[in-house]
Amino acid sequence: MKKISMVAAAILGAALFSSTPISIGQSLDKGLSVTVNSAQAEVGRPLTAGSVAGVHRRHARRAVRRCAAGVTCPQY
Residue 3 in this model has a pLDDT that exceeds 70: yes
d(C-alpha 10, C-alpha 33), whole Å: 21
The pLDDT assigned to 44 comes to: 59
pLDDT digits (tens, 9 = 90+) for 7-49: 999 998 888 777 777 777 887 887 888 887 777 766 656 566 6
CA angle 68, 72, 76 (to 5 degrees): 90
The pLDDT assigned to 46 comes to: 59
Strands (E), 1-76: 22-27, 31-36
pTM for this model (two decimals): 0.31
pLDDT digits (tens, 9 = 90+) for 51-63: 677 778 888 888 8
Residue 76 in this model has a pLDDT that exceeds 60: no
